[in-house]
Structure 1
Amino acid sequence: MRILRLWLLPTFLVALSNPLAAETIRIAIGVQDTTINCAAGGLLIRELGLLDRYLPRDGKYKGATYDVQWRNFTSGAPITNEMVAGKLDFGVMADFPGALNGVAFKKAGKRSKFIAVLSGSVRGSGNGVVVPTGSHAQSLSDLKGKTISVPFASTAHGMLLRAIADLGWNPDKDVKIIAQAPEVAGSALQSGQIDAHADFAPFAELFPYRGVARKIFDGAQAGVPTFHGALVDAEYADRYPEVVVAYLRAVIEATRLLTAEPERYSELIAKVTGVDAPVVYLFHGPFGLQTRALAWKAEFRQDVATSIDTLRLLKRADTGLDLDAFIDDAFIRRASKEAGLDYEALLAADAPPPVVTDASTGQQIEDVSQSAELWLKDEGRARRYASLASALRALAELERQGRAARAIYAFDRVSGVEIFADRAWFVSDSNGRLSAYLSKDAAFRFGDGANGGVLDFTEAKSKAGGVANAR
C-alpha cells in the first residue's frame, strides 16, 4: 500500500502545480450564424477550426482537455437567457441586446463583460426598414399611422425607435410597432399583413435582393453607431482568462481572413446560412456596410450607453450599468498584442481604405465614393470601376457577350453606404455623371436641384451606354 502511495505522489504533485491538469474545460459559445455580422465571432471560427489553434496547452492548462460547444440562435435575447442560466460561457450579439445582456446579468446578481467588437459602423449602417414591393411608401415619413414589425430587443428595434424620435413621432401613438421575427416577416410583407419591417443584418438587404421587399431606410440615415460584438460570463473570464484571450485570437484570425478574401468567405457563409453570397459581400466587402472593428472606439462605447437609455425608455431596464466595468478591453488588448497588432493604432483612427484599381484601366481609383462594383456569376472576385457609368457600360458589354452579374453595387449619394445598384434610383447630371440613390424620393430631390432626370436601373444602363464622356 505504501508503494502505491509513493507511486501516486508525482501525479499528486503535478495536480498541485497544474490545478487544471485533470479538468475538462467547457467552452460553450452562443452564435448567430444568419446574423452575418457575427461571422468573425462564431461561424468562421467554427467552420475553419480556428479556436483549437490558440487554446492554452502549457502552464496551469497542461493536461487539461476542452469541451467546445457551439450553439446557434437567431437573435441575441435567447443567448442572454442561456448565459445567465449558466449554459453558455460566450455570446455574440449586437449593441442593443448586448446592453440587455449586462442588465440581465446584473438583475441575476451576476456580471458579464463586453469584450470585443466584431463588426460595426460608426455611421449606423447595417440595420434598415423595408416595405412590400408594391408599397407607395418611399421614406420612413410615409409610414405614419402604419404597422411596422421588428424583432423586439434587437439592434434594429433601437434604430427604429431613434429614427421615429428624429421624426418627432410618438412611438406609442403615431405608429403601431409589433414584435416579429425576420423568419415570419418575409411572408407577412408579401401578404400585406404589415406595412413595413425593421431588421438587422442581413434581412434589410436579403429581402430586397430576393424581391420580397423594397428598402426605404438605412440605419446610416439615423446617424447612430451600431455594432455586433462578443460577451463573456465575468466569472468564467476570471477563472479562465487565457481561454478568453484564445477565443479572441481566433476572432482576430477570422477577421484577417474575411478582410483579405471577402468573396471567398462570403461563399462559405452563404453555404452555411443560406444567405446569398452577394448579400454577405455587401456587408463584408472592402467598402461594405460594416467594417471588422475589433477596437472599442469611443463611438461604440457611447452606443452601449445609448442602448441602455433606450432600454429604460422601453421599461426593459430600471437600472444602469457601470460601463467601465461592463466594457472590458483588457482581453482584446492582450490578444491583439499576441497577434502582433497595434491596438492603440486601431483605436485611434479608422484603418486606411484599401487601394483598389479600375478593372477596365488598371489605374488606381482615387474617389471610391464615385465607384461601382460588378460581381459576375462566373468569377470568384468582384470587379470595381472608377464610376457608376463606366461600370454600367462594362456590364452592358459583358451581357452582350452572354455573361451575367450576380450583383451590381454602387454608393448611395445621401448616406454614402454601398447599395445594390439594380434596386436603386439614379440621376444623370449635365455632364452625364450618374449618381445612385436608395430611395426614389431622394433621387427626385437631387434631380430637381441638378436639372437631371430620375432614372430606374434599366434607364441608367441605357444612359451610361450613350454618354461617351461619362467618367
Structure 2
Amino acid sequence: MKRTPIALSAALLLLPLSACGGSAEAGDAKTVTITVGYQSKTINTVTAGTLLRSLGYFERALDALHDGHVYKVDWQDYATGAPITAQMTAGKIDIGSMGDFPLLINAARGKQLGKPTRLVSVTGYNLRGGLNTIVTSPDSTLSSLTSLKGKKVSTSVGSAADGTLVRALQRAGIDPDKGIEKLNQQPAVGASALSSGSADALSQFVAWPGLLAHQGKAKALYDGAQLNLPTFHGVTAREDFAQRRPAVLEAFLKAQTEATDYLDAHPVAAAEKVAEATGLPAEVVYLYNGAHGIATFDPAIKPRLLSALKQDVSVLKAEKLTGDIDVDSFVDDRYVRKALGADYAKRLASLPPAAASEVWPKGAQKTIGFKSPAELLRHVAGHKNGIRAAYVPDATTGTLWFADRAVWVADGYQLLPFVAPATAKAYVAAHPGARVITYADALGRAS
C-alpha cells in the first residue's frame, strides 16, 4: 500500500499549531461571541449543527440567560472534524461536533498541546455501525470484501469510515496496510475518484454512501453494521471554555436536546430543513435521520458507546495517528446531566426504535409505515408514480436502505431486502430454495 500521503497527513495533524490565538469569545465586556464548529453535510450531527442552527434554539437559550451579556453565535461549517479540532486547540472554536474517530483525535491533540477538550454529549449513533458503508461504482464486478484485494480504495484516514474499512478488511483476512492501495481523500474527492474510475471502492461516512446510491453513482459493497460495533457522532467542548462559561455550554446542550426532540417529532420536516440548508436531497437525509433512519439521536452518553470508543483507540494507534488515549478522562457528562436534569436517566436507558419499512409519498409531509418489506412493495407497485422514496431495513442488520437500491432475495413467500450482495448471498447459502432476484421481480411478486 502506498503510505506517503497518509503519513504526511498524519504528520500534519500532529504538528503543533503556530497560531495559537486567544479565546473564540470576542467582543466588549457585555458582548460575547460563541463560536460553534459543525459539519453541515455530516447529517448525524444536525442536532448540534445544521438543524439546531436553522431552528434558532441555541440563540434563544442564550437570550434566556439574562446574565448581563449579549451573546452572538458564529456558526462555522467544515467538511470534516480535523479542521474543527485544529481551530479548537487554537482557541478559535468553543464547541464542535464530529464522529467518534475524529473525537479521539480531538482528545489526543488537545492533550498534546495542553489545550484539553471534553466529550460533552452525543448527536446521532447506530449501535451496529451502520453509519459507515463501503460502496463501488454501479457497473463494478466487485461483490465482496475479498475482491478488494489489490484494489484502490478511497477513504478519509482518521475517520470512522476508515475505521470501518480497516476492521472489515481484517475480518476478511486482508491486511489493511498491504492488501489494498488506500487513497487518503476528502469525501467529495473520493466520490469523484469513484465516478472517474481512479478508485475501485469508497469507504465513507454519512451521508456520502446514501447520496451516491440515491444518485445512481454507487452501489453498496459492505454494510458497516455487519461489524456489529457501535459508531456515533458527538459534541466536544474546550475545557477552559466549559469551566469559564458553564451556563453557556448547558444552554447549548438544552438547545441540542430541543432540536433532538423536534427531529423525533417532525422527522420529515426536519429532513426538509436539513436538505434546504445543505443542498442534499431530502430523501437521503431521511434515510439516515428519519423515524426509522440509520441514525438514532440522543444527547445521552451511553456506556455502550464509550465502550466502542475505547476499542477505536487501537485502530488509530495502528494508523500512527495517536498514541494511548484516556477515554474516561476525555468524557465529561456533568454539563449534559445538569442541562437535562431528571430526564437524563430516561434518555440514558432508551433504545433505538425497531427497524421498519416506510414510503414517502410525493407531496406528503409524513411517511407511511408497513409491517413488512413485502407490504411496502405491494404499495409501491400500486402507486409507481406517487412515490418520492421507499425505505426497507436489511433483513439481517436492520440498516435502512432505498428499496430500489437494495439486493432482494425471494425465500418462499418472503421477500427480503439486503444492503450489500455479500449478506444476501450468505442468506441464500443458508436457506435452500432462496435466491437473489431483481427489484423489478420483487415488485412483480409482491403485486
Give the structure-2-normalised TM-score: 0.90
- Contact 2:63-2:71 at 8 Å conserved across structures: no
> Structure 1 residues 245, 175: CA separation in 2 closer, same or farther (over 3 Å shift)?
same
> Structure 1 residues 85, 458: CA separation in 2 closer, same or farther (over 3 Å shift)?
same
1:319 deviates by 3.7
Match of 1:116 in 2: 121
Match of 2:156 in 1: 151
**Residues of 2 paired with 1:420 and 1:255: CA distance?**
24
1:459 deviates by 0.7
Match of 2:50 in 1: 43
**Structure of higher RCO (CA pairs closer than 8 Å, 6+ residues apart):** 2
**Residues of 2 paired with 1:132 and 1:283: CA distance?**
21
Which residue of 379, 391, 413 maps to 1:409? 391
The reply on whether 1:420 has 2:398 as its aligned counterpart is no
Matching residue's letter, 2:377: L
- Contact 1:21-1:64 at 8 Å conserved across structures: no
The 5 A counterparts of 1:120-199 are 120-199=125-204
Which residue of 458, 464, 469 maps to 2:440? 458
**Residues of 2 paired with 1:398 and 1:110: CA distance?**
57
Match of 2:365 in 1: 380
The C-alpha deviation readout for 1:254-281, integer Å capped at 9, x for no partner, is 0000011111110111111111111111
- Contact 2:142-2:148 at 8 Å conserved across structures: yes
- Contact 2:373-2:392 at 8 Å conserved across structures: yes
- Contact 1:92-1:231 at 8 Å conserved across structures: yes
1:187 deviates by 2.1
Match of 1:261 in 2: 266
The C-alpha deviation readout for 1:150-181, integer Å capped at 9, x for no partner, is 01211111111111222232112111111111
Match of 2:22 in 1: none
- Contact 2:399-2:419 at 8 Å conserved across structures: no
Which residue of 410, 420, 439 maps to 2:420? 439
Matching residue's letter, 1:434: L
- Contact 1:115-1:332 at 8 Å conserved across structures: yes
Match of 1:393 in 2: 378
Matching residue's letter, 1:257: Y
Matching residue's letter, 1:307: D
Match of 2:6 in 1: none
- Contact 1:21-1:63 at 8 Å conserved across structures: no
**Residues of 2 paired with 1:93 and 1:166: CA distance?**
26
**Residues of 2 paired with 1:439 and 1:99: CA distance?**
29
- Contact 1:150-1:181 at 8 Å conserved across structures: yes
Match of 1:28 in 2: 35
1:21 deviates by 10
What secondary structure does 1:295 align onto?
coil
1:349 deviates by 4.1
1:446 deviates by 2.5
Matching residue's letter, 1:387: S
What secondary structure does 2:383 align onto?
helix
Q: Comparing 232-241 with 274-283, which one deviates more in the overlay?
A: 274-283
The C-alpha deviation readout for 1:16-51, integer Å capped at 9, x for no partner, is xxxx99432221000100000010001112111111
Match of 2:229 in 1: 224
What secondary structure does 1:428 align onto?
strand
1:440 deviates by 2.9
Q: Comparing 421-430 with 439-448, which one deviates more in the overlay?
A: 439-448
The C-alpha deviation readout for 1:175-234, integer Å capped at 9, x for no partner, is 111111121122211211011010001001111110111111121111221100100000
1:141 deviates by 2.0
Match of 2:104 in 1: 99
What secondary structure does 1:75 align onto?
coil
The reply on whether 1:347 has 2:328 as its aligned counterpart is no
Which residue of 312, 319, 328 maps to 2:332? 328
- Contact 1:150-1:178 at 8 Å conserved across structures: yes
Match of 1:429 in 2: 411
**Residues of 1 paired with 2:316 and 2:374: CA distance?**
45
Matching residue's letter, 2:394: D
Match of 1:293 in 2: 298
1:443 deviates by 2.6
Match of 1:12 in 2: none
Give ranges in structure 1 of 5+ residues lacking alignment. 1-19, 354-367, 466-471
1:283 deviates by 1.0
Identical pairs, percent: 35
**Residues of 2 paired with 1:444 and 1:217: CA distance?**
12
What secondary structure does 2:128 align onto?
coil
The C-alpha deviation readout for 1:34-72, integer Å capped at 9, x for no partner, is 0000100011121111112212655xx632121311100
What secondary structure does 2:216 align onto?
coil
What secondary structure does 1:315 align onto?
coil
The C-alpha deviation readout for 1:122-175, integer Å capped at 9, x for no partner, is 111111101011111122222111111101211111111111222232112111
- Contact 2:257-2:298 at 8 Å conserved across structures: no
**Larger-gyration structure (1/2):** 1
What secondary structure does 1:374 align onto?
strand
CA RMSD after TM alignment: 1.8
What secondary structure does 1:55 align onto?
helix
> Structure 1 residues 398, 62: CA separation in 2 closer, same or farther (over 3 Å shift)?
same
Matching residue's letter, 1:37: N
The C-alpha deviation readout for 1:71-92, integer Å capped at 9, x for no partner, is 0000000000011111111110
**Residues of 2 paired with 1:307 and 1:445: CA distance?**
27
1:424 deviates by 1.3
1:318 deviates by 2.6
The C-alpha deviation readout for 1:391-442, integer Å capped at 9, x for no partner, is 212222223xxx3312111111121211111011222222x12111122343
**Residues of 1 paired with 2:130 and 2:424: CA distance?**
19
Match of 1:313 in 2: 318
**Residues of 2 paired with 1:129 and 1:40: CA distance?**
25
> Structure 1 residues 390, 320: CA separation in 2 closer, same or farther (over 3 Å shift)?
closer
> Structure 1 residues 260, 213: CA separation in 2 closer, same or farther (over 3 Å shift)?
same
What secondary structure does 2:296 align onto?
coil
- Contact 2:123-2:233 at 8 Å conserved across structures: yes
> Structure 1 residues 57, 209: CA separation in 2 closer, same or farther (over 3 Å shift)?
closer
